Structure 1
């Protein structure tokens, strides 16, 4: 029920496209743009190629302009290379047989999935030059190395989350009101400045790595949500 209500709210944000053609993906757009594809047949059985173009550098002003029916949208849906819909994110683009759900985080994509009317889900195919496409190709060519990198990213995020939780509890219990009732807590982990900076950098890279694989966990990736 909650998911259906959220999807309805996202569908309301979708506006008609301007009919512009899909622009080619350029290498210099590696960290500023994501492009995904999906082949779907319409009700007449005719196959169409859908593309979702996400622009990460759309600022607050651009988003506000789009809400008013103007400006460039952070996400746009194309059918056979022609823009048919546009929206702010998170969003759900209606397509034959279901919707394409698009959600981003501070580090990239959280969702880029086709959800059918029956509830079945599948991720869209990334452009081969995009960061998601390059990561997918690396995983196909070097599966063992890819698995090690993925596991390392998980470990880093678990450690970063544990350190943040302990620090948060310490700060919370040092509040006079809470300290009087439950006492104070001191985190057993004390990191020097250089180690803390290293952990933050590693956590950011780990979050980026998971975003390129559309991996997200509401607890593990809480920092990037």
Structure 2
């Protein structure tokens, strides 16, 4: 029921597009832009997301193109009604966490990434070298799991020092204390792991949610 309410609210945010022509992905846009396609009979939809946000508002907007022309636009998360269902788009701090066509009966299909986008290049690696791709995915999940175990106890410490919390529960003493350089290293590898998972549209509330 809550998801239905969220979807209805997202649909109300959809605005008509201006008919602008879809531009191809350039090499310098491969990290900051996602472009994915859905083919429904004789119609081709394209979802275009610029992750760095609008120049004026900073909001991440999602453009929906129909047969190469901008058909609709919405703030993320976005839900676009199309033939037979909706296209759902959700973003994270590291890229996409969802871009699926959801049919009226609940069947879901992930959209196909543009081969020139970072998601498309990651998908090509998965097809051409599945073993290597699987290994990279496993390493990313392990890195995020370790990061959660290392960083969360340290984040709890300043929260526990807030007077009302400290008076009620006492100040938490973290069993883990990392030097600054190691904390920076953990943050960097966490960002890389989270970005790699976003390129595969993988999202787990515990691992990826904790990372950002």
Q: Give the TM-score taking structure 2 as reference length.
A: 0.92
Q: What are structure 2's unaligned runs of at least 5 residues?
A: none
Q: Within the alignment, does 1:85 sit opposite 2:72 as a pair?
A: yes
What is the alpha-carbon distance in structure 1 between the residues aligned to residue 207 and residue 200 of structure 2? Answer: 15
What is the alpha-carbon distance in structure 2 between the residues aligned to residue 104 and residue 124 of structure 1? Answer: 14
Query: Is the 8 Å Cα contact of residues 170 and 186 (structure 1) preserved in structure 2?
Result: yes
Q: Give the TM-score taking structure 1 as reference length.
A: 0.87
Structure 2 matches for 1:131-146, cutoff 5 A? 131-146=118-133
What is the alpha-carbon distance in structure 1 between the residues aligned to residue 167 and residue 74 of structure 2? Answer: 50
Q: Within the alignment, does 1:153 sit opposite 2:148 as a pair?
A: no
Shift of 1:12: 0.6
The alignment covers a number of residue pairs equal to: 212
The farther-off stretch of 177-186 and 203-212 is 177-186
Deviations 1:73-122 (A, max 9, x none): 82211111122111111111111011111111111111111111111111
Shift of 1:174: 3.9
Query: Is the 8 Å Cα contact of residues 63 and 74 (structure 1) preserved in structure 2?
Result: no
What is the alpha-carbon distance in structure 2 between the residues aligned to residue 57 and residue 174 of structure 1? Answer: 34
Q: Within the alignment, does 1:162 sit opposite 2:149 as a pair?
A: yes
Q: Within the alignment, does 1:12 sit opposite 2:12 as a pair?
A: yes
RMSD value, Cα: 1.9
The farther-off stretch of 153-162 and 176-185 is 176-185
What is the alpha-carbon distance in structure 2 between the residues aligned to residue 215 and residue 176 of structure 1? Answer: 38
Secondary structure of the 1:221 match is helix
Query: Is the 8 Å Cα contact of residues 101 and 115 (structure 1) preserved in structure 2?
Result: yes
Deviations 1:108-140 (A, max 9, x none): 111111111111111100000100000011111
- The structure 2 residue matched to 1:97, chosen from 63, 77, 84, is 84
Query: Is the 8 Å Cα contact of residues 15 and 72 (structure 2) preserved in structure 1?
Result: yes
Shift of 1:180: 4.6
What residue in structure 1 maps to residue 51 of structure 2?
Answer: 56
What is the alpha-carbon distance in structure 1 between the residues aligned to residue 172 and residue 129 of structure 2? Answer: 45
Query: Is the 8 Å Cα contact of residues 105 and 224 (structure 1) preserved in structure 2?
Result: no
Change beyond 3 A, Cα 1:169–1:24:
closer
